Amino acid sequence: MSDGALSQDEIDALLSGTDAAGSGGLSSGAGTNVRPIQDFLAETTEAQSASLSAQTGATLSLQGPDASNGNRDALLGSLPDQVVAVTCDFNAGFPGEHLFIMAEDTAKRLAALMNKEENPELDDMAMSVIGEVMNQVVGAQITALTNKTGNKTVSAVSPQATRVPKAVVALPGDGFTQAVYSLDLGDGTPHQLWEIYGSQAAQAISQALSPRPVPNTGPAPGAQSGWNPTPNMGGFPGMGPNVQSVQYPNLTPQMGPQAQGNIGLIMDVFMDVTVELGRTKKQIKEILGFGEGTIIELDKLAGEAVDILVNHKLIAKGEVVVIDENFGVRITDIISPMERVSEMG
């Protein structure tokens, strides 16, 4: 029996915010139902894998995750000594703390794939690249979360990547939910990616993803077991239903005077008209190397028609002309509605 004095283990546990059994301390995140979050994230891994592959030009695969309510001690025990933490808190929709954690080796591999170089240093440039990679991951996740929950206000701050010792990672102080992914970066080495949700964000997302129970209103008034509400008129001559064909209105779109007047209300609205000479894609390191005299090769041949866009939508093609020392464009082809649909596809 205890004499009332605290053992050294108990004192250490109190100082670290844990209990003597080593549970890592209670957290408000412990009550989060993680199953909806895990199921949702598992549905996004295929799209996330495609996004990572497109960004790096390699075949990458994200699998999992295994979601659970975590605590600081247990998480730190599973992390390497040095990590890269990417902070991307939700600031609207489901506001709360949100971050990703990866090992140094994982971060170096991602930076190497993005920059097409071997053994890159984890400097500011590499941190910027990793932040952009995770920005695409978060963006795809927000889009899926919006579609799934109907909450159109979901947004997050721009991801910020930092290389730090695991002990100083800014984990949510009020408990958290963690999702651990298996990441295949094509180098034959197993990688892990930890995604951390603060308890406030985790609980809000879990509730939004959980199916709402349909209330049981019971049988309709007057309903009885075995009662057939459809009357049988077949046995009573002269009492059959009076059936008449339904007359549907003409669905051909027609523009009446009122509609024409409504269109007149927007005739003075300004829209951006852009003439696009061509496009190309460059790596970040190539863009940072641009200087005076740099030549950028575009995807159009010399003399080929330029694209004319209205609010970023292709509507016509034309040729460049010079009018009183100013550039202009002569329209040579109007894109039909069917062609526009084809271009969007």
Within a domain: residue 263?
no
What's 205's domain CATH number? 3.40.1550.10
* 104 is a domain residue: yes
Q: What is the CATH number of the domain that holds 336?
A: 2.30.330.10
Residues 130 and 201 in one domain: yes
- Could you tell me how far CA 199 lies from the centroid of its own chain? 20
* φ/ψ of residue 56, rounded to 5: -95, -20
- Tell me if 3 is assigned to some domain: no
Which candidate, 135, 116, 103, 110, places its Cα nearest to that of 60? 110
Give the number of domains in the chain: 2
Q: Is the dihedral of CA 288, 289, 292, 295 positive or negative?
A: negative
Please name the residue that has the structure tokens 């985790």: 202
189 and 48 part of one domain: yes
Distance CA 160, CA 38 (A): 24
The tokens describing 185, both together, are 């970066």
pTM over 0.75: no
Distance between CA atoms of 88 and 176, rounded to whole angstroms?
Answer: 15
What are the pLDDT tens digits along the chain (345 aa)?
444 455 555 555 444 443 433 333 333 445 789 999 999 999 999 988 888 888 888 889 999 999 999 889 999 999 999 999 999 999 999 999 999 999 999 999 999 998 888 888 888 888 998 998 898 899 889 999 999 999 989 999 989 999 999 999 999 987 899 999 999 998 888 899 999 999 999 999 999 998 876 666 555 555 554 545 555 544 445 555 555 555 555 554 555 555 555 666 677 788 889 998 888 988 888 888 888 888 888 888 877 889 998 888 888 999 888 887 788 888 988 887 766 666 655
Cα–Cα distance for residue pair 52/56, rounded to 1 Å: 6
What is the C-alpha separation between 184 and 180, in angstroms, rounded? Answer: 13
- DSSP three-state, residue 64: strand
Residue 302 per-residue DSSP state = T
1 belongs to a structural domain:
no
Residues 169 and 277 in one domain: no
Q: Are 277 and 183 in a shared domain?
A: no
| Domain span holding position 340 | 271-281+297-345
Query: What is the DSSP annotation of 204-243?
Result: HHHHHHSPPPPP---SPTT--TT---S---TTSTT-S---
